[in-house]
Structure 1
Amino acid sequence: MTKRGEQMRAEILAVLREADGAMSAYDVLHRLQASHPKIAPPTVYNALAALTKTGRVHRVESLKAYIACQCDGTHKLAVLSICDGCGTVEERTAPRLVENLSGFVEETGFMPQRHVIEVHGLCSSCSSNA
């Protein structure tokens, strides 16, 4: 990867870490246009794909958005709790849950390639205000 690509990934990761919640690729693009007026969507999508592949970013499938990995980045399997009230996304690891899920689907000969576990509900702040 070129220095320019590494720099762009670092900037995108910083934008996601500063965000209050999950961001779409276009939200990231708009945030970067102030410092990179000619930035194009493929640049952002390619960087997000690379960051997702290395586990530094998670794609929140149900929101079609991204968040920076909140853990140490050494894992790729996370359970994402998504608050439908305020939009916060919390990340937790659950290795046994993923192992059990994989074992369950493998009984039929299915070979899982990727796990996406998302739980929608209300965070503690939103549920106490409800």
Structure 2
Amino acid sequence: MSRVCRRLAGHRIPAGATVVFSPYLLHRRPDVFPDPERCDPDRWLPETARPAMRKALVPFGGGVRECAGDGFAMSEATLVLASILTRWTLDAVPGSDVRLAAYGALQPEGLRLRAVAR
């Protein structure tokens, strides 16, 4: 029985092969995300977000193994963040240490925020 091969970025991928990717690296591609190391929530505004950016963001995995709570979590996070930021301004307290962890998330080391009512 002949197995169909596909090409991905110039490489032959045999049918049934397992393909693994790194969300950490995908989310930091400078050809997809302008200034990828900078935290910039405004990059997701309708006037600045590009279709390639939306396709490259996979915080909950994808395909048949995508997190079942993906849609709910994104909606809930948007509502919570919008509720907080309409009432408060959050500033890092001087001396707070935030660094990228090996798994690609921000890992606060004693991060403290000051909430100031708007």
Instruction: Give TM class, smaller chain.
Output: under 0.3
Larger RCO (CA under 8 A, 6+ residues apart): 1
Larger Rg: 2
Higher helix share: 1
